[in-house]
Amino acid sequence: MRSLPGILLLALLAPTLGAQQTEGPVVTMRDGGVSQVLQSIYIPPLLNAPFTATVHTQWIRQLPDGGAFTLVNQRRIARDSLGRIYEERWLLVPKDGQIPSQMNVVQIADPGAHTLLNCFLLRQPHRCTLESFRESATAAYKPLILTSGPLPKNAGFRNHEELGKQSFDGIETAGTRDSTTYNEGVLGNDQPFSVKREFWYAASLGINLLSELSDPSFGKEIFTVTDITLAEPEAKLFEVPEGFEVVDHRRPAAAQE
């Protein structure tokens, strides 16, 4: 019975509190959702290995009834003889083609100047952020080669296969496939599952011309490089886009020590 005055007081105050809360802006809240970013093919800043090409991306996620969601895009990439890298980033859209994709970012990496420009096309005002780029144009870049055998701590087993040689657009590649099976309970899984990765690596360019990754946690990713030209790209690709302001996000040298 002693709690009744408190309850009555709250009941009397409730209309007043409610009126006070609605005086400001209304913010709609919702929990849940996932934010994911695909990791596309890696392009190292190699010297004297210029090219221009198109990367086609497919992201396929299975539905419980056996169907699938498929998102796609395609983007231009290039590298000049100085090791500078140009990459376009386009929004993923449904495969049926009803929604057009848009280019949202241009990235320009310069290993000589140690800079990375990220230019955002869908934001106003148009700006590029200037960041540090620490990858070397003289390093030796090699694909990760795994070996067959059991995983540590009885986590599962990996099977490695060499798939031989294959030509893409007249460029020779070497194929590799790795299948890794994880035991029950290793990653929160209530039954064993497998992750498969296959890639076809072009040593002359230092990139994969075909890369496929299948993982039940996020589906299947397929990256295919086509329209390869081995000539020097246009120099204009490596300039700040016209009408863009550059904002320097690099830390001062003293702060980096």
Integer Cα distance of 218 and 141 in angstroms: 28
Q: Where are the domains of the chain?
A: 51-256
Give the pairing type, strands 207-215 and 193-202: antiparallel
Mean predicted confidence (pLDDT) in 203-210: 96
The highest-level CATH class for domain 51-256 is mainly beta
Answer whether residue 22 shows pLDDT above 70.
no
* pLDDT more than 90, % of the chain: 70
Integer Cα distance of 62 and 65 in angstroms: 8
Integer Cα distance of 209 and 18 in angstroms: 61
pLDDT tens-digit series, residues 68-107:
999 999 999 999 999 999 999 999 999 987 899 999 999 9
Answer whether residue 131 shows pLDDT above 90.
yes
Query: In the structure, what pLDDT confidence band is assigned to residue 33 with cuts at 50, 70 and 90?
Result: low
Query: In the structure, what pLDDT confidence band is assigned to residue 4 with cuts at 50, 70 and 90?
Result: very low
Integer Cα distance of 232 and 51 in angstroms: 6
Phi, psi of 103 (to 5 degrees): -80, 125
Integer Cα distance of 34 and 107 in angstroms: 25
Give the Cβ contact number of residue 64 at 10 Å.
Answer: 5
Query: In the structure, what pLDDT confidence band is assigned to residue 64 with cuts at 50, 70 and 90?
Result: confident
Answer whether residue 252 shows pLDDT above 50.
yes
Query: Between 254 and 128, where is the model more confident?
Result: 128
Mean pLDDT of the chain, nearest integer: 88
